[in-house]
Amino acid sequence: MSDQALFQPLTLAGRELPNRIVMAPMTRSRSSQPGDIANALMAEYYAQRASAGLIITEATQISAQGKGYSFTPGIYSPEQVEGWKLVTDAVHAAGGRIFLQLWHVGRMSHASFHPDGLPVAPSALAPDAQVWVVGDDGIGRMLDCPTPRALSPQDIALIIEDYRVAARNADLAGFDGVEIHAGNGYLIDQFLRTTSNHRQDAYGASRENRLRFLMEVTSAVAEQIGAARVGVRLAPFITARNMACPDIIATIVQAAALLGEAGIGYVHLSEADWDDAPQIPDDFRQQLRAAFNGAIIVAGRYTPERGEALLQQGLADLIAFGRSFIANPDLPERLARQAPLADFDGKRLFGGDARGYSDYPKLGTARY
C-alpha closest to that of 26 among 64, 69, 81: 69
The pLDDT tens digits of the residues spanning 148-181 come to 999 999 999 999 999 999 999 999 999 999 999 9
Cβ-based neighbour number of residue 166 at 10 Å: 28
Average pLDDT over all residues of the chain: 96
CATH topology of domain 5-348: TIM Barrel (3.20.20)
Cα distances from 329 to residues 43, 342, 364, 368, in angstroms, run: 13, 10, 12, 15
User: Which residues are within 8 A (CB) of 279 and not within 5 positions of it... i.e. 6 or more apart?
Assistant: none
The pLDDT tens digits of the residues spanning 30-70 come to 999 999 999 999 999 999 999 999 999 999 999 999 999 99
pLDDT band, residue 368 (cuts 50/70/90): very low
Catalytic site includes residue 186: yes
> Containing H/E element for 162?
helix 153-172
Mean pLDDT for the stretch of residues 198-224: 98
- The one catalytic residue in 186, 302, 357, 360 is 186
Is the pLDDT score of 302 beyond 80? yes
- Strands, E assignment, the chain: 10-12, 15-17, 21-23, 54-61, 98-103, 120-121, 130-134, 140-144, 149-150, 177-181, 230-234, 266-270, 295-299, 318-321
Is pTM beyond 0.75? Reply is yes
DSSP secondary-structure letter at 361?
P
- Rg of the chain taking only CA atoms, in angstroms: 19
Mean pLDDT for the stretch of residues 312-321: 97
C-alpha closest to that of 255 among 315, 219, 212: 212
Quick one: pLDDT at residue 9?
98
C-alpha to C-alpha distance for 265 and 262, rounded to whole angstroms: 9
CB–CB of 140/350 below 8 Å? yes
Quick one: pLDDT at residue 366?
54
C-alpha to C-alpha distance for 191 and 210, rounded to whole angstroms: 6
Quick one: pLDDT at residue 274?
63
* Domain-wise residue ranges, the chain: 5-348
- In this prediction, what percent of the chain has a pLDDT beyond 90? 94
